[in-house]
Amino acid sequence: QVQLQESGPGLVKPSGTLSLTCAVSGGSISSSNWWSWVRQPPGKGLEWIGEIYHYGSTNYNPSLKSRVTMSVDESKNQFSLKLSSVTAADTAVYYCARGEGEEGRFDYWGQGTLVTVSS
Amino acid sequence: QSVLTQPPSASGTPGQRVTISCSGSSSNIGSNYVYWYQQLPGTAPKLLIHRNNQRPSGVPDRFSGSKSGTSASLAISGLRSEDEADYYCAAWDDSLSGVVFGGGTKLTVL
């Protein structure tokens, strides 16, 4: 059973950089899957942030592309998200998820981690 | 403003059948698969329907999906109290080169 676990600071200052890591267990990050980040502002809907393949190929949401960087660490079986120049609008629960097969199909999700942007 | 449009709310009584719609365009639903996710309060989303109408193992056959043109629907028959949740549709968008979600529909079981 694949499990994903997000980790990172729960509080980030405005204009700073949000950094999160998703640890994958029960499966290999080097498998034929895309690995995604999805966020959900409090009381609002889901927003796809982007995805990364294990050899480093990425796709980012055009609305966030200029601020997003994703990376993979195969030795630690984990992938990461960095979101720069954050504002209060970036306050959300951030989920990592595994993409299976075709785009848009997320079969495993982390439990989510709340990141608040505030001074 | 979400790329895919869903009604913000839906409701039904136990045992009823309810449907939730999802409207898109030729660049997303019209040319790609539709997915449905169920999000129970305080939990991560769960894949409910993939490839328009396929259920992952473990998902009851009370849940069904369909797609026609640039719209899709999720139907829940034999409604139960535990179905009370938020439901999201999703699809790949060729123009945006990314995954787009609907705004979500909050289902209330009366």
Q: Give pLDDT, residue A55.
A: 84
Mutate to test the interface with A, among B9, B32, B99, B105 (most CBs of A within 10 A): B99
Say if A65 is an interface residue toward chain B (CB within 8 Å): no
- Say if CB B14 and CB B52 are below 8 A apart: no
Q: Pick from B50, B56, B101: which is nearest to A48 by CB?
A: B101
3-state secondary structure of A65: helix
Buried b (16+ CB within 10 A) or exposed e, A100-116: beebbbbebbbebbebe
Q: Pick from A47, A95, A102: which is nearest to B33 by CB?
A: A102
Contacts of B43 in chain A (CB under 8 A): 111
Work out whether the CA dihedral B5, B93, A100, A29 comes out positive or negative: negative
Contacts of A42 in chain B (CB under 8 A): none
Tokens of B69: 């043109």
Query: B82: phi > 0 → left, psi -120 to 50 → alpha, else beta; which?
Result: alpha
CA dist B18 and A19 (Å) reads: 40
Q: Give pLDDT, residue A65.
A: 97
- Say if CB A16 and CB A86 are below 8 A apart: yes
Rounded average pLDDT per 10-residue block, chain A, 119 residues: 96 98 95 94 97 91 97 96 98 96 91 98
3-state secondary structure of A89: helix
Contacts of A103 in chain B (CB under 8 A): 32, 92, 99
Write out residues in chain B with pLDDT < 70, as ranges. none
Contacts of A105 in chain B (CB under 8 A): 33, 35, 47, 50-51
Neighbouring residues of A45: CB distance < 8 A, sequence distance ≥ 6: B2, B88, B101, B102, B103, B104
CA dist A71 and A73 (Å) reads: 7
- Say if CB A68 and CB A60 are below 8 A apart: yes
For the stretch B68-80, pLDDT in tens is 999 999 999 999 9
Chain A CA closest to residue B56:
A107
Contacts of B101 in chain A (CB under 8 A): 45-48
Q: Which residues pair with B86 in a beta bridge?
A: B39, B106
Q: Of B64, B78, B32, which is closest to residue A101 (Cα–Cα)? A: B32
- Say if CB B107 and CB B18 are below 8 A apart: yes
Q: Give pLDDT, residue A56.
A: 86
Q: Give pLDDT, residue A54.
A: 84
Number of Cβ pairs < 8 A linking chain A and chain B: 67
Say yes or no for a CB contact (<8 Å) between A106 and B45. Answer: yes
Q: Which helix (H) or strand (E) holds B11?
A: strand B9-12
